[in-house]
Amino acid sequence: MKRAYLLALTVVIANAQSVTRDGFFIRYGFDRWLADGEHTQMRWTTHIETPHLTAHQRLSARIDIAVEAKEIQKRRGRGEIVTFVQIEDTSGHRWRTHNSYSLRAIPADAKVHATLNSQEVYILPGDYTLTLAACDSKTREYSLVRRTLHVSPLRGDPLPAAWGDLQPVEFVQRDEAPDSWFQPYIRGQVRLPLETRHPVHLDLVMNMTPSERVSGSVRSFGRNMSVLVPALKLLSNLEPSKGTLDVALLDLTRRKIWEQKNVRGLDWDRMRAPFANTNPGVIDVQSLAVKAQMTQFFWDQMLNRLRPDAGSGALHVMIVLSAPAFLDHQFKVEPASFPKDPNRRVFYLRYRPIPPPRVAFDPFSQATMPTATSLPSDDLEHTLRCLDARVYSAVTPEEFRKALSNVMAEVAKM
C-alpha cells in the first residue's frame, strides 16, 4: 500500500523588513514579476485571514498559499516550490519573507498532497497591498496575485498607547513550545507605561500548576500556557514611572519558584526551563508526598511577598496570573493574621481560553447544552479573598486587554 506523504516543509523566514534583506526576491526576479502584473503558470489558491487580536496583544493575520497536488505531482523529484509574501503600506514601505518546499525529498511511491504555506504576520491598523507568489525553482514557472488588506483599529481600545513603538509589520516565525508561547524572536514589544503618583513595587506571580481536574492532560496544559505565557511576557513590560517590578513563577505541585528581580522585560533564557521541562502527567515521589499542601504553599508565597519592606515607603501591588485552579484534597489553610493595608492592592487575573465548542447533548431534555463562556470561582480566588483581592476573569484576548487596563488604572490612582 502506498504511503500518503504530506510534503515536508522547509521554512526559511527572512528577517526582512525592507526590500533589500531577502536575497530570494532578487534571485528569482520578484521585482520584474511585480512590474509584469498578475500571472498564473501554476494552479494554486491564496487566502488572507481577517486580522484578529491574539494572546500576545497583537493584531494578527494568517496568509495561506497552497499549490495544488497535481502541480506538485508533475514537478516531484526536482527543485523546490518557493512562496513569496510582500506587504506594502501606503507610504511605500515593504516587508518581505519567503518559504521553501522541497520537491526532491518526495518518495517515489508516495501519494502527494497540496502544499500549504501559512504565514502569520503581526500588523498594525492601516491599509496594505499584499503581493503573493509561488515559483518552481527548476522551471521558473510562477504565479502571482495582488490583494488589498484593510486592518481596522480596535474599537474603544482600552490600551491605545500599547502599540506606539511597534513596526507596522512583523512576520511570525513558526516554532515549537515553549518558544511558540513566548516568541522570543519577535523584536517589537508592546509597551505598558504606568504613571504612578507614588513609588510602587509590583509583584507579578504566575501559577503554572495545572488544575487537578486536568493535571495529566498535556493538551490542556499547552492550551493554558499558550495564553498565560504571552500574558506573563506582556505584564513583564509594565513600566511604573516610579517603582520596580519583580516576577515569580510558581509550581505548586513541586513547590518550586523561579524569580527575576527589577524586571524590564522578561529574560526568557532564564525563565524557559520550567516550561520546557514540565510534564503535567508526571510527578515525583517527593512532590506527591506534599501534594495536599499546594494551597498552603501558595498562601505562604503570597504572605512572604506582601509583608512590608521596612523603610522602603513604596506602595505594594501583587498581580497573580493563573488559569482556573481546582486543587483537590488539600489540607485546610490556616490564614495568618494579616491586617488590612490601604497601601496594598492584590489583583487576580484568571485567564483561560475557552476550548473549541463540542456537541454536548442532554439525554433527558433532548436538547443541546450551551458551551461555557465564563470562568467559575476557583481555589486560588478562595485563598486570595483573605487579602481582599480584586478578581478579573478573561476567556479572550479582548477581555484580558480590558482587565489589564482596569488594573493599571487602579494602580495609577493609588
In sequence order, which residues have a C-beta less than 8 Å from that of residue 62 and are 6 or more positions away?
48, 49, 118, 119, 120, 121
Instruction: Give the rounded distance of the alpha carbon of 106 from its chain centre.
Output: 33
Alpha helical stretches, state H, 46-167: 69-75
Question: Residue 320 has what pLDDT?
Answer: 98
pTM of the full structure: 0.87
Which range (94-98, 128-132, 302-306, 396-400) has the least confidence? 302-306
Q: How many CB atoms lie within 10 A of CB 237?
A: 19
Q: Which of 18-22, 75-79, 181-185 has the lowest mean pLDDT?
A: 18-22
Q: Indicate if the alpha-carbon torsion angle 301, 306, 310, 315 is positive or negative.
A: positive
Alpha-carbon distance of 11 to 404, in angstroms, equals 35
Reported as a single tens digit per residue, the pLDDT across 393-411 is: 999 999 999 999 999 999 9
Binning pLDDT at 50, 70 and 90, where does residue 217 land?
confident
Domain ranges in the chain are 4-171, 179-412
Select from 2.60.40, 1.10.3470, 3.40.50, 3.30.70 the CATH code of 179-412: 3.40.50
Question: Quick one: cell of 148?
Answer: 488589498
- Output the average pLDDT for the chain: 87
Whether residue 361 is predicted with pLDDT greater than 90 in this model: the reply is no
pLDDT at residue number 211 = 76
Closest listed residue to residue 64, CA positions, set 15, 143, 146, 132: 132
Residue 9 has pLDDT above 80, yes or no: no
Give 10's pLDDT tier (boundaries 50, 70, 90). very low
Comparing 149-153, 181-185, 380-384, which segment has the lowest mean pLDDT?
380-384
Domain 4-171, CATH 2.60.40.10 — does that match?
yes
Please tell me the predicted confidence (pLDDT) of residue 349.
98
Q: How confident is the model at residue 340 (pLDDT cuts 50, 70, 90)?
A: confident
Per residue in 265-296, pLDDT (tens digit) is 899 999 999 999 877 655 554 555 567 788 99
- To the nearest 10°, report the CA torsion of 326, 331, 334, 338: -40
> How are strands ordered across the β-sheet holding 142-151?
9-10, 94-102, 80-89, 126-136, 142-151
Tens digit of each residue's pLDDT (9 = 90 or more) over 62-87:
999 999 999 999 999 999 999 999 99
β-bridge pairing 80-89 and 111-112? unpaired
- If pLDDT is split at 50, 70 and 90, which confidence band does 20 have? very low
Mean per-residue pLDDT, 198-203: 95
At residue 366, the pLDDT reads 52
Answer yes or no: are the C-beta atoms of 165 and 188 closer than 8 Å.
yes
